[in-house]
Amino acid sequence: MKEAIKWTLNRMPKSDDRQLSVMSLSNVAKARFFHSSFPQYSITPLAELDGMAKYLGLAGLYVKNEAHRFGLNAFKVLGGSFAMGRYIAKEMGRDVSEMTYDYLTSEAFRREYGQATFFTATDGNHGRGVAWAANKLGQKAVVHMPKGSSQPRFDNIAKEGAQVTIEEVNYDDCVRMAAAEAAQTEHGVIVQDTAWEGYEEIPSWIMQGYGTMAGESAEQLRQIGVNRPTHIFVQAGVGSLAGAVVGYFTNLFPNDPPKFIVMEAQAADCLYQGAMAGDGKPRVVDGDLNTIMAGLACGEPNTISWDILRNHVTAFVSCPDWVSARGMRMLGVPVKGDPVVISGESGAVGMGLIAALMETDEYKDLREAIGLDRYSQVLMFSTEGNTDPLKFRKVLWDGEFATV
């Protein structure tokens, strides 16, 4: 018997919405300018799944494919790199617009600034992005991974020259460990995409970095004649990506925003729990947070993102692992004529959920509540490619987490 998808509509009281300005169009434009200065930068593809849309009964289905981002197989580097740029700019009393790749890798910068050590905790992709950016910019990186982290993800971080460990604690405890070490290190700073009381500036910069992906997708949709998506499905761990996407598109379409559906791994569904409680306060999920969606295995919400999400999300959805596994298979073996999207466990949950909503009447109530139908133009984000090859094969080849 497969576990059920759980969901709730957003009935939380609104706040003053002051965090929405974090994702203003001008802030996102600064991030896009910073990223475009890197020689490795290119706009990642937007896959048009016309066959899948027709099969599911949608007007359009579009998948932003982040497997191609900077050669790192995931979107996370956008946040870590921009936060580094903004941190260095602030330290130097300069504007981030001056922190181009050419300047940050120059001898003049080295003489003027020297080196900082960037600490972080990661389930894989964020740490790899921080390590890669530190390596490219001549900075140092120290990365802690939670217990159960996979060897390929560890190896990918280590080969970027970072000091990396797998600890015997969960993700949220790794964050605390990284923060404590950064506080004791000269020129040490923690670069984490979760915010807490007193640590909000860097997470807001990371969210702005993710805005590059959201901005690209909006442009790509316009280029194919879709002025505004009707629905955006976005996954959440701590919620930074979700807050970035929801914040950007709310600012882009202030009078008529899309419907936003936020999905989490059921083992770490802190945002869903907060929405279920309904009082507007965030909730924490603790324990081992066991899920194949390693990038979403985070139990403590980013407080900045939470404020954006409680004001603008339509529905919060808690997804068992089979939802992601099914999405991986559907994207990897698509309808004839559609492009293949190689999507990892944390990247494919949107596809699995959209299919579950459209293929049967089991979740008819949610489908009708969000108005998902044959007129819908749906955008989702495949945030990672095949970042854990062994797990990927188990799901696609061996049928792990089958739906029957």
Q: Quick one: which of 7, 16, 10 has its CA closest to 307?
A: 16
- Return the beta strands (E) in 162-219 as ranges: 163-166, 188-190
d(CA 360, CA 232): 20
Q: For the chain, what is the largest distance between any 2 Cα atoms, rounded to a whole number of angstroms?
A: 64
Which one of the listed residues 64, 76, 136, 140 is annotated catalytic?
A: 76
Q: Is 226 helix (H, G, I), strand (E, B) or coil?
A: coil
Return left, alpha or beta for 274; rule: phi > 0 is left, psi -120 to 50 is alpha, else beta.
alpha
Cα–Cα separations (whole angstroms), residue 382 to 24, 74, 230, 302, 367? 23, 9, 18, 21, 21
Contact yes or no for 367/48 (Cβ under 8 A):
no
Going edge to edge, which strands form the sheet with 163-166? 163-166, 140-145, 117-121, 188-190
The amino acid sitting at 112 is: E
Angle at 391 between CA 378 and CA 3, to 5 degrees: 60
User: Which tokens belong to 256?
Assistant: 């008529």
Verify whether residue 193 is a known catalytic residue.
no
Q: Among the residues of 282-361, which ranges form H helices?
A: 303-312, 321-332, 349-359
Strands 46-48 and 163-166, how do they pair? Answer: unpaired
Whether residue 2 lies in the annotated active site: no
For residues 78 and 401, give the distance between their C-alpha atoms in angstroms, rounded to a whole number: 31
Q: From the candidates 123, 172, 307, 321, which is the catalytic residue? A: 123
Q: Which residues contact 290 (CB under 8 A, 6 or more apart)?
A: 148, 267, 297
Least Cα distance to 207 among 43, 349, 370, 28 occurs for 28
Do the Cβ atoms of 347 and 385 come closer than 8 Å? Answer: yes
Write the DSSP string, 172-188: HHHHHHHHHHHHTSTTE
- The amino acid at residue 158 is A
Q: Which residues are catalytic?
A: 76, 123
